[in-house]
Every structure is written in structure tokens, then in C-alpha cells.
Amino acid sequence: METKMVICTQKHRAVLTDIGATTFYDSYRHENTEADMQAYIANTYTIEKLAQNLSNPNIVYFLAYNNLGDVGYIKLLLNQTNEKLQGTNAEIEKIYVRQAFHGKGVAQQLMQFAIDYCKQQNYNNLYLGVWQENHKALKFYGKVGFKTFDTRTFQLGDRLCDDYMLNLEL
């Protein structure tokens, strides 16, 4: 099944909100309280927040879709600074694929699209944070070539989560 990519505009707000909320909940509901999950989703995945993000020239979303519909997205933060990285940097803030499309190559296609985009824009580094307990994601990023360069803390409700910071030199 062929997956296509598109750079998102304001018309994609609702689908990005749905994919983000659904995939985040599916991925992390077993690790967090229902109250923390609902509070995070209500604060993060809103039409208003997506509208703001899509209006920001330093944020870009790529939507993956096929003949069955919208299947996932990747969100890049452009022109980021990180004291441990040299040159120009972009950060992958989110990469989400609907559960029905896990294992079908969608994440790899989204990642490659983001890498190609960043290379075309002359970025030196593409980095991201990933929860240290997300072994599936860590394995995926390792296969792509990302390497750990730091750690950080991510707060989800009352819970503090430790993230690895991974970088791919472009």
C-alpha cells in the first residue's frame, strides 16, 4: 500500500489533533494515570494549539496518508538550539502512527521524509527526546542512526519521565 506525504496547513488541524490524541493515549495509557493522560491530551491536542503551531514558521508537520485515510504524522521544530550540538538543528517533537499501521513502514517513511527535508534545508543535526522506557522507539531510532547525546526530564501530569536525547548528524 502506497503511503504519501504532505506538508500540513491549517486545513489539517482536526486530523492532526485526532491522530495526536489517539496515538498518545494508545501508547502511554498503561504507564500513566487516566487523569494525567486526559489532562495532557486536553492541554496538548486542541484545534487552537494546532492552529498556533501551523502558523509558526519554525514548526512544520508532515502528514502520512494512503487510500485508507490519514495514518500518521511527524512534527519538526526548526532552528532549534542545543548547547551540546554544533551547527543548525531541527528537533523531532512528535512522530505518531495510528496503531493499525504499526509495523507497516509508515514511521520509517515519515522519518525519511523528515531527514530529506532537513538535509534540503541544510540542517546539520536532527535530534529528539524519547522516554528511556520506550524500548521499541529506541530500537527504531537506533536503526535509523540516531545516537544518544544527553538526557532530559519530561513531565506528564504529576509524573516525571526520564528521556534520552538522540541525535542524527545530517
Residue 32, pLDDT score? 86
What's the one-letter identity of residue 155? Q
Whether residue 94 contacts residue 140, with contact meaning beta carbons closer than 8 Å, is answered with no
Q: Does 170 reside within a domain?
A: no
Sign for the CA dihedral angle at 74, 78, 81, 87 comes to: positive
Grid cell 486526559 is found at 38
What burial class does residue 64 get, using C-beta atoms within 10 Å of its C-beta: 0-12 exposed, 13-18 middle, 19+ buried? buried
Whether residue 104 contacts residue 150, with contact meaning beta carbons closer than 8 Å, is answered with no
Q: The domain spanning residue 18 has which CATH number? A: 3.40.630.30
Strands 4-7 and 89-97: unpaired
Kindly report the CA angle at 47 between 159 and 123, in degrees rounded to 5? Answer: 75
Q: Does 103 reside within a domain?
A: yes
| C-alpha pair distances (Å), 74 with each of 7, 77, 84, 139, 148 | 10, 10, 23, 18, 20
Q: Does 85 reside within a domain?
A: yes
Q: Does 119 reside within a domain?
A: yes
Q: Does 162 reside within a domain?
A: no
Q: Which domain holds residue 63?
A: 4-127
Distance of CA 34 to the CA centre of its chain: 22
Q: Does 148 reside within a domain?
A: no
CA-closest candidate to residue 125, choices 108, 106, 110, 147:
147
- Give how many domains the chain has, as a whole number: 1
Residue 167, pLDDT score? 98
Kindly report the CA angle at 71 between 58 and 124, in degrees rounded to 5? Answer: 35
Residue 27, pLDDT score? 87
Q: Does 51 reside within a domain?
A: yes
One digit per residue, pLDDT tens: the chain, 170 residues? 789 999 999 999 999 999 999 999 998 898 889 999 999 999 999 999 999 999 999 999 999 999 999 999 999 999 999 999 999 999 999 999 999 999 999 999 999 999 999 999 999 999 999 999 999 999 999 999 999 999 999 887 777 889 999 999 99
Q: Does 160 reside within a domain?
A: no
Residue 44, pLDDT score? 93
